């Protein structure tokens, strides 16, 4: 096999340049990411890390042709177009706008777009679970006070419950569909607080916080909260995922009393 350094890549034909750029400008990768974002509302969302495919191919080509300045500029332009397209897809889907500071380098912007992709797309299902879990955790007392009076002890869900379980958790599990359907959140920051409350220092969470608090880079649209809640409420199978998650949490007594982080 020919080694990369065995050939002079400082001067290649226009046809070869076109072939290199075409190999990187793979519409399959971009269309796959677009479909992944567009179809995030389906019950089992696609969590394939398509962006890593591009990043690997990009770095290989950049290393291979590093002595050809003109070709490297074109390779970098392909990268810029791809990342800005991904940013646009996410903005349209999730109803927010990202405005990076003028002094931020393109590479830093790409890194933040990658984190946004990981957070909003790849972690979508986990975020939904964290959202409901965080909501219940922070609003626990008012939820119990409201739904305990509505608990029907003749309901099959109640009669099948393990009566050794925490009585408040029994209320939560029995009334979970209603709790989810009745969820109301006023502002985007509150919604994100619920999501990150269990682990604000997890890397993606901390980066999202820096974009909101330090850089003021994420501007939420009027439909951000409504869209996020509808993706949960209109998902028929989500209740089952959430119920399983809460049953697991019930094994960790006191989870609903943890102090949570607040976005300022």
Say if residue 213's pLDDT is above 80.
Answer: yes
- Evaluate if residue 263 carries a pLDDT over 80: no
Residue 73 has pLDDT above 90, yes or no: yes
> Above 90 in pLDDT, residue 93?
yes
CB-neighbour burial class of residue 58 (10 A; exposed 0-12, middle 13-18, buried 19+): middle
264 in a structural domain:
no
- Same domain? For 139 and 230 the reply is yes
CA distances, 193 to each of 31, 131, 205 (Å) = 32, 8, 10
pLDDT (0 to 100) of residue 7: 52
Same domain for 110 and 16, yes or no, is yes
Please give the pLDDT value at position 9: 52
Domain that includes residue 136, residue range = 124-257
CA-CA distance, 14 to 11, in Å (whole number)? 10
The Cα–Cα gap between 208 and 213 comes to 9
Do 139 and 117 share a domain, yes or no? no
The highest-confidence range among 15-19, 215-219, 251-255, by mean pLDDT, is 215-219
Q: Do 113 and 149 share a domain, yes or no? A: no
Q: How many domains does the chain have?
A: 2
Q: What is the pLDDT of residue 203?
A: 76
Is the domain of 43 the same as that of 74?
Answer: yes
State percent of the chain over pLDDT 90.
47
Query: What's the pLDDT score for residue 34?
Result: 93
Domain boundary among 122, 148, 177: 122
Q: What's the mean pLDDT in 78-99?
A: 96
Predicted pLDDT of residue 120? 94
Q: Give yes or no: residues 110 and 138 share one domain.
A: no
For the stretch 173-202, pLDDT in tens is: 999 999 999 999 999 999 998 998 767 778
Q: Quote the percentage of the chain above a pLDDT of 70.
A: 87
Flag whether pLDDT at 25 surpasses 60.
yes
DSSP reduced 3-state for 16: helix
- Residue 4's pLDDT is 40
Give the mean pLDDT of 238-253. Answer: 80
pLDDT at 221 over 90: yes
pTM: 0.85
pLDDT of 17: 77
Same domain, 58 and 74: yes
Q: Does 160 share its domain with 46? A: no
- 74 and 95 in a single domain? The answer is yes
Statement to judge: residues 173 and 106 lie in one domain? no
**Mean pLDDT in residue range 73-84:** 93
Q: If residue 238 lies in a helix (H) or strand (E), which one and from where to where?
A: helix 238-250
Q: Which of 122, 139, 169 finishes a domain?
A: 122
90 and 165 in a single domain? The answer is: no
**Same-domain pairing of 17 and 116:** yes
Q: How confident is the model at residue 1 (pLDDT cuts 50, 70, 90)?
A: very low
pLDDT confidence bin for 157, thresholds 50/70/90: confident
pLDDT in tens, 111-129: 999 999 999 999 999 999 9
Asked if residue 263 is part of any domain, the answer here is no
Lowest mean per-residue pLDDT among 156-165, 179-188, 248-257: 248-257
Give the chain's mean pLDDT.
Answer: 85
- What residues contact residue 119 under an 8 Å CB cut-off, 6+ apart? 127, 204, 205, 207, 208
């Amino acid at each position: 096999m020919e080694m990369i350094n065995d050939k002079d890549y400082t001067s290649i034909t226009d046809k070869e340049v076109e072939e290199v750029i075409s190999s990187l400008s793979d519409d399959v990768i971009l269309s796959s990411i677009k479909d992944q974002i567009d179809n995030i509302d389906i019950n089992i969302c696609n969590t394939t890390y398509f962006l890593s495919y591009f990043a690997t191919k990009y770095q290989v080509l950049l290393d291979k042709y590093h002595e050809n300045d003109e070709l490297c500029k074109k390779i970098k332009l392909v990268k810029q177009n791809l990342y800005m397209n991904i940013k646009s897809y996410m903005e349209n889907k999730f109803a927010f706008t990202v405005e990076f500071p003028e002094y931020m380098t393109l590479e830093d912007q790409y890194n933040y777009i990658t984190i946004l992709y990981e957070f909003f797309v790849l972690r979508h299902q986990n975020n939904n679970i964290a959202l409901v879990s965080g909501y219940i955790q922070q609003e626990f007392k008012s939820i119990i006070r409201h739904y305990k009076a509505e608990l029907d002890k003749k309901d099959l869900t109640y009669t099948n419950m393990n009566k050794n379980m925490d009585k408040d958790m029994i209320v939560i599990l029995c009334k979970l569909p209603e709790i989810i359907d009745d969820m109301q959140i006023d502002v985007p920051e509150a919604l994100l607080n619920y999501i990150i409350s269990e682990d604000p220092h997890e890397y993606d969470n901390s980066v999202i916080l820096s974009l909101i608090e330090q850089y003021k880079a994420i501007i939420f649209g009027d439909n951000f909260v409504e869209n996020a809640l509808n993706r949960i409420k209109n998902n028929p199978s989500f209740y089952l995922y959430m119920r399983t998650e809460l049953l697991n949490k019930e094994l960790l007594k006191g989870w609903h009393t943890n102090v949570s982080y607040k976005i300022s």
